[in-house]
Chain A
């Protein structure tokens, strides 16, 4: 009986897959805009606590939240994406699933940049259509969103990160004001937050 079982297992083969560490990144909108508005995310990256502390303890100041950064080499801590977030829709949108090695994270870095889409918002980072006018920004911004240190290991393999974009500032900005496009994008950058769950 036992021999027959062994032969049967070998004849049909036997396979198993144990999921490893996974970090699921989603984005959601609070205070959704009443106008058509899209914000494009091009990259997400987990920031180790070592890197995070080194950056923030460094005596050399950095203007980290402004401008694009060129250290976009491939890494299991990051994912290049092209997700246009509808700022009029509060439902969470999946951004990426990262499969990093064990480590301890202290922040999520999010890069906003022009969309590669061939639709009407292609080439734009932020697009707002209001009062029959169109406001566009094609700048790039990278921002780190800190959270309490979280260990990723075989014992704690799963982490859900939700980036919240508060669209309320869009309602208070006068789109007709000078330099409104830059102001809109930078204002949105100050409205970001991240929450995490197991």
Chain B
């Protein structure tokens, strides 16, 4: 969702399920394994052919496993994204060759601070979000080449305010660029890159650069059209380039998504 051509009064629903795992720290000292199963529930509405309003709410199941086998588990709503996409070029055309959009939004600190049975807050890494209001701004381009080929690129920047436990996530930029080929009407494949660059975070005003840097992943998806109103996507994000000082290791991320037009 987010790169398609909007139509006036269209309502679109999507669910995206992904599983990620990240190992942080030194194995003999302070290693932590983070795992998450995340279900994004997205609804979008296009009141006109050039404007789309979206709401995304994630449901997250996160596990934080420390080196001494202490296990923290969190389940709940994550941080909701509210965004507006304005198509500034190509809107309203029957078969546009390209669409250019500007996207503005904000990530809300909607995830609660979760506490264990003794009312102690879980570790910040076990919480379902950093808890800081995060404005976002981006541009997106979609190109359509005949009936089979298309491409998409988007660049989004975000800068978080301070959240829970004195944590302020570093400003970040996310680049997604991919090409898609659809040999038959009901099936397509796509491949591209999904890269995130992040500046150091701050904890109580002290910089923490361990997870800052560039994480670039190869993305590969298969896309199935289920009739005229639904699309099923399955794919994987495989990290290939990682300049974060860490130590940190991100495992490949499987993704399944279903999009339905109402």
Contacts and interface: CB of A to CB of B under 8 A. Distances in A.
A11 B78 CA distance: 10
Nearest to B30: A76
Contacts of A13: 74-77, 111-112, 114, 128
A16 B73 contact: yes
A76 B73 contact: no
B68 A21 contact: yes
Contacts of B71: 16-18, 20
A20 B69 contact: yes
B72 A17 contact: yes
A76 B70 CA distance: 13
- The size bracket of the interface on A is 20 to 34
B210 to A, nearest CB: 15
B157 interface: no
Given A16-B117, A17-B117, A17-B120, A11 B72 contact: no
A102 B128 CA distance: 28
Contacts of B28: 75-76, 101
Main secondary structure of the interface of A (DSSP, over half): loop
B223 interface: no
Contacts of A99: 66-68, 70
A101 B68 contact: yes
Contacts of B72: 15-18
Contacts of B112: 12-13
Nearest to A76: B67
A14 B116 CA distance: 8
Interface bin, chain B = 20 to 34
A74 B30 CA distance: 10
A195 B150 CA distance: 71
B262 interface: no
A57 B128 CA distance: 50
B100 interface: no
A129 to B, nearest CB: 41
Given A12-B112, A13-B114, A15-B116, A20 B66 contact: yes
B29 interface: yes
Contact of A22 (B68, B111, B114, B115): B68
A157 interface: yes
A13 B119 CA distance: 13
B153 interface: no
Nearest to B65: A20
Contacts of B115: 15
B105 to A, nearest CB: 22
A17 B30 contact: no
B122 interface: yes
A76 B27 CA distance: 10
B59 interface: yes
Interface in B126-165: 126, 128
Contacts of B122: 15, 17
B108 to A, nearest CB: 15
Interface in A51-90: 74-76
A14 B112 CA distance: 10
Contacts of B67: 76, 99-101
A161 to B, nearest CB: 15
Nearest to B61: A14
Interface of B: 28-31, 59, 66-77, 111-112, 114-118, 120, 122, 126, 128
